[in-house]
Structure 1
Amino acid sequence: MPYALGVDIGESFTSAAVCRRDGSAWTGPLTVRLGARSPSAASLIELSPTGALHTGDGVRADEAAGTGRILRGFVRRIGDDVPMVVDGRSYRPQDLLAALVRLVVDRLREQEGEACEQVALTHPAGWGPHRLGALFEALREIGLDDVVLLPGPAAAAEACAASAALLAGCDLGGSACTTFLVRRPARGPVEVLAHEEHAVGGADLDDALVAHVRAAIGRAVSEPPPDADSGPVAVLLRRDCTGARERLSEQDEAEVPLPWWAPDAGRALPVTRAELSAMARPILRGTVESLVRLVEEGEQEPAAVLLVGGAAATPLVAEMITERLALPILRDDEPQSTAARGAALVARRASMHRVGS
């Protein structure tokens, strides 16, 4: 079945969604699975010994094993003249981002049994002609010469079912946050009126939870082993803390399995939502203040606040916003893929326009 593809590549995770066409009728956007255990895949690329690039859950496993051939953090470096070097090979950041898009496009072609009719890709708000041009060139070089690019906040607003013309929003991802104001006209693309970027995300909440667990263990351990802060043991503890933080979005208490070197190894440390909120509040305060500032400096009051990004599912985010702003909160059932679904709608519109022209 023909389809249009939306791709959202964030600093930490990559998501994708499709709109399928049955004759002249199109479906709404549907999230597609990129990972084995979750819809999203880590925004990591592994360089194989032969120089081939790979992504997916296997890359994450190799990261824990410490192969030293993992490429990350290239999204924010698009247009940078300094190449990224790994295992003796140099790569332009835009080539890595384009390669990740190509890998997603190829995976969807395998899953769907045919190539997509149109691709739309999100990018950070505020990118100018230099970065966009560098990305366009890199995409063309690998055979993707008709990709629609749109800012992440605009894609998130496209996916929002509310009819509000003016929205505020907070996109809280794994390692970055964007607060924004967008206008949704009756016709034409969504306009990003204002935005601010922050180096705060779910990873910072995970750091706080790891420190909390380490402190609880430390009270009973006089001398932790050398690899307590690095290597596979530390990676596993962090993953367990990430899982507990995500479960606390849905329940009042979660458990973190204790590492082998803890006195109570084999047991788990209970953590409550209230404890996590106490750790997270000072971390999130700056982003909430940024959102409040954008709303107060705007010419009109927005109709609602849209929460997107995987970490935005943390209940404290909405709680802190409502403490400062008397605005409805719009929550997405799948906040990690909101922008990808909005991009799929834009890709669908572009495909319909091309067919109709």
Structure 2
Amino acid sequence: MPYVLGVDIGDSFTSAAVCRRDGAGWGGAETVRLGARSPAAESLIELSPTGELLTGDGVRADTSGDPGRILRGFNRRVGDDVPMVVDGRSYRPQELLAALLRLVVDRLREQEGEACEQVVLACPAGWGAHRQGLLFEALRTIGLDGTVLVPGPVAAAEHHPGAHALAGYDLGGTTCTTFVVGRPARRPAELLACERHPVGGADLDDALVAHVRAAIGKAADQPESLDSGPGAVLLRRDCTQARERLAEAPEALVPLPWWAHAPGDLTGETRRELPVTRAAFEALIRPLLLGTVDGLVRLVEDTADVAGVLLIGGAARTPLVAELLAARLPGPILLDPDPRSTTARGAALLARRIAGGGRADGSAWPHETTAGLTPVAAGAWGRH
């Protein structure tokens, strides 16, 4: 069945979605599975001993893999003249980003039994023509020169059609991007303003890790360190899972190392659990989020009236985010059930438009709406 593909390669996770054509009509955007345990896969590339690039389920970063062979963070390094080096091999960041997209495209071709008709890749907000051009050249080299690049906020706004401006709050793994997208009638959406903040889901996890470590205290017979090694990895994983549970529940339990048991506890090595309430967690992270909310308020005041606020990114499900934004900005707070894949699904909808698809209700798109949907080589959406 013919299909088009939208991809969002974030700092921490990569998501993908497709729109399929059945006969003369196109379906809506559907998230596709890239990871072993969730639809999203970590934005990692591992260099195998034979020089093969692995990603998604092929990466063994959390088990037997050699951390020295793992490449990450290349998304935000595009435009940097310093190459990334692993095992004596040098790679330009844009080459790694293109390689990761190639791996996603190839995986979908295997799953679907045929190549996609169009690929749209969401790029970071604020990328100018220079960075877009570097990536496009890397894509051309590996046979993906038909890929269209669009700013992530523009792709995300595709879920909410209309001629009103939208504000957005994208809380990813390592950064928070606040933005305003304008949507003139019968024309492609336009990124009016954006700002990046050095706060992400990892920082929220850090705050919870510090809270748990303080609760554990300094055990005199502590046999392992929580600063590094397996104990630190497990604690951070458990805190991340607790943060995600607190998005739905008023309390979460964080498993503790066996040596953190209270004196006289005779349960052997069965780990005790530390309860953390949502209220306590929100008190920890409120100072981290306030600056990002202030940033979005400034953007809205300086650009346009907005019809609502889009919440994007896995960490955006944290209830305090919506609470802080609703108190400062007009219009509804818009959060769908899977904010981690919002941008990828929006990119798939844009790919559908380029391939000649209509609206979900079956009506045709106005001809003018596809005028700006061209490969980045033509300067689509580029801003310095």
Shorter-chain TM-score tier = over 0.9
- Aligned with 1:228 (options 208, 226, 229): 226
1:200 maps to 2:199: yes
Is the Cα–Cα contact under 8 Å of residues 195 and 294 in structure 1 kept in the other structure? yes
Corresponding residue for 1:269? 274
Change in 2 beyond 3 A, CA 1:90/1:319: same
Which residue does 2:318 correspond to in 1?
Answer: 314
SS, match of residue 139 in structure 1: helix
1:325 equivalent in alignment to 2:329: yes
Partner of 1:107: 107
For 1:302, the equivalent position in structure 2 comes to 306
- Paired letter, 2:312: V
Task: Determine the C-alpha separation between the residues in 2 that align with 1:170 and 1:330.
Answer: 10
Q: Which residue of 2 aligns with 1:244?
A: 242
Would you say the 8 A contact 2:171–2:314 is kept in 1? yes
Deviation at 1:65, TM superposition (A): 5.5
- Distance of aligned partners of 1:72 and 1:310 in 2 relative to their CA distance in 1, 3 Å threshold: same
Which of 328, 333, 346 is the aligned partner of 2:350? 346
Give me the whole-angstrom Cα distance separating, in 2, the residues matched to 1:259 and 1:49: 35
Q: Which residue of 2 aligns with 1:117?
A: 117
Change in Cα spacing, 1:19 to 1:126, as seen in structure 2 (3 Å) is same
Contact preservation (8 Å) 2:311, 2:333? yes
In structure 1, give the amino acid aligned to 2:170: D
Q: Secondary structure at the match of 2:356?
A: helix
3-state SS of 2:226 partner: helix
Q: Which amino acid aligns with 2:20?
A: R
2:3 aligns to what?
3
Question: 2:253 aligns to what SS in structure 1?
Answer: strand
Q: Does 1:178 align with 2:182?
A: no
Return the letter of the residue paired with 1:39.
P
Counterpart secondary structure, 1:188:
coil
Structure-2 change in CA distance of 1:64 and 1:214 (3 Å): farther
Cα distance change on mapping 1:34 and 1:274 into 2, 3 Å: same
The 1-side partners of 2:109 and 2:327 are apart by: 46
- What is the letter of the counterpart of residue 254 of structure 2? V
Letter in 1 for 2:28: G
Over 3 Å off, 4+ runs: 60-67, 222-227
Normalised by the length of structure 2, the TM-score is 0.88
Q: 1:326 to 1:187 in 2, by over 3 A?
A: closer
Partner Cα separation in structure 2 for residue 200 and residue 24 of structure 1: 45
SS in 2 for 1:352: coil
| Match of residue 79 from structure 1 | 79
Residue correspondence of structure 1 range 19-168 to structure 2 within 5 A? 19-59=19-59, 61-62=61-62, 66-160=66-160, 163=162, 165-168=164-167
Shift of 1:164: 5.3
- Give the gaps of 5 or more residues in structure 1: none
In our comparison, the structure showing a higher alpha carbon Rg is: 2
* Structure 1 CA distance for aligned equivalents of residues 282 and 247 of structure 2: 10
| 1: CA distance, partners of 2:175 / 2:82 | 22
Q: Which runs of 5+ in 2 are unaligned?
A: 263-269, 358-366, 371-384
User: How many Å separate the matches in 1 of 2:201 and 2:35?
Assistant: 19
Mapping of residues 199-218 of structure 1, within 5 Å: 199-218=198-217
8 Å CA contact 1:18–1:32 kept in 2: the answer is yes
User: Are the aligned partners of 2:71 and 2:86 in contact in 1 as well (CA < 8 Å)?
Assistant: yes
Match of 1:189 in 2: 188
Superposition deviation, residue 308 in structure 1? 0.8
Q: Is the 8 A contact 2:312 2:342 kept in 1?
A: yes
- RMSD of aligned alpha carbons: 1.8
Cα pair 1:64 1:231 within 8 Å, conserved: no
- Structure 1 residues 60 and 163, CA, compared in 2 at 3 Å: closer, same or farther? farther
- Whichever residue aligns with residue 76 of structure 1, its letter is R
Q: Give yes or no for contact 1:29–1:344 (8 Å, CA) kept in 2.
A: yes
Letter paired with 1:253: E
Q: TM-score, normalised by structure 1?
A: 0.94
Separation in 1, partners of 2:90, 2:257: 37
User: Sequence identity of aligned pairs in percent?
Assistant: 71
Q: Is the 8 A contact 2:247 2:317 kept in 1?
A: yes
- Contact conserved, 2:4 with 2:20, CA < 8 A, in 1? yes
Q: Aligned partners of 1:115 and 1:225: how far apart in 2?
A: 53
How many residues get paired? Answer: 352
Of 285, 295, 315, 2:290 maps to: 285
Q: Which moved more, 1:124-133 or 1:318-327?
A: 318-327
- SS of the counterpart of 2:193? strand
Query: What's 2:379 paired with?
Result: none
Describe the SS at the equivalent of 2:125.
coil
Q: Secondary structure at the match of 2:49?
A: coil
Equivalent residues of 1:64, 1:232 under 8 A apart = no
Q: Which amino acid aligns with 1:213?
A: V
